[in-house]
Amino acid sequence: MNTDLQTVTMMAGSLKAALEAAQAMVTLVGTGKARDQALKVQDEVFNAHQTALTAQVAQFALLDEKRRLEAEHVKLIAQIAEHDTWERERVRYKITRLSDGYESFGYTLKPGAEGDEDPHTLCPHCFEARKKRVLTGGGSVLGVETLKCSDCGFVAKVSRPMTSSPSVSLQTRHDVGGWMSR
């Protein structure tokens, strides 16, 4: 492609030199048949020069289009690779109901797909948007744990059995001294 550009540039230079020579002939000859021939040659050289310039402009446009298409090709290859990576990751997870007491769902690793990863739950909204965002604990009240997505703000409520019941001994008013006297 570079050789074509050099050829067109050299041709344009040669045509310019020929045009200048034809102009010099017209000046020297003055009048008559030689002048008419020189003008005819000058017109042909000028037309050839214009054609060469038009070809050069077209070649530059083609080079620009080629660069644009190459950049688009690289972008598409990257998108395909990203898609393939996501698909390999996506098939490792399954949608899971997080609690019987609430309509909370998240994505968890399928059995056998854990590898060296710790158990975790992914945000279902972010997962559908092709992002892996782990739901993190936002606290627990009366056996209901709140899991939150730090990216989109999704909140899941999960009922967990209480691990130990607080042993609170409340005595009735009939006890002498009450519960505060101890």
94 band by pLDDT with thresholds 50, 70 and 90:
very high
User: Is residue 24 within 8 Å of residue 57, measured between CB atoms?
Assistant: no
What tens digit of pLDDT does each residue of 149-159 get?
Answer: 998 988 888 87
User: At 132, is the secondary structure helix, strand, or coil?
Assistant: coil
- pLDDT tens digits for 46-86? 888 888 889 899 999 999 999 999 999 999 999 999 999 99
- Please tell me what DSSP assigns to residue 43: H
Residue 20 tokens read as 């200048």
> Residue 15 in contact with residue 52, Cβ under 8 Å?
yes
Residue of 40 and 93 predicted with greater confidence = 93
Contact yes or no for 39/26 (Cβ under 8 A): yes
Task: Pick 179 or 24 by higher pLDDT.
Answer: 24
Q: Where are the beta strands (DSSP E) in the chain?
A: 93-97, 105-109, 121-122, 136-141, 144-148, 155-159
Tell which residue, 84, 89, 140, 87, has the closest CA to residue 117: 89
What is the DSSP code (8-state) at residue 29?
H
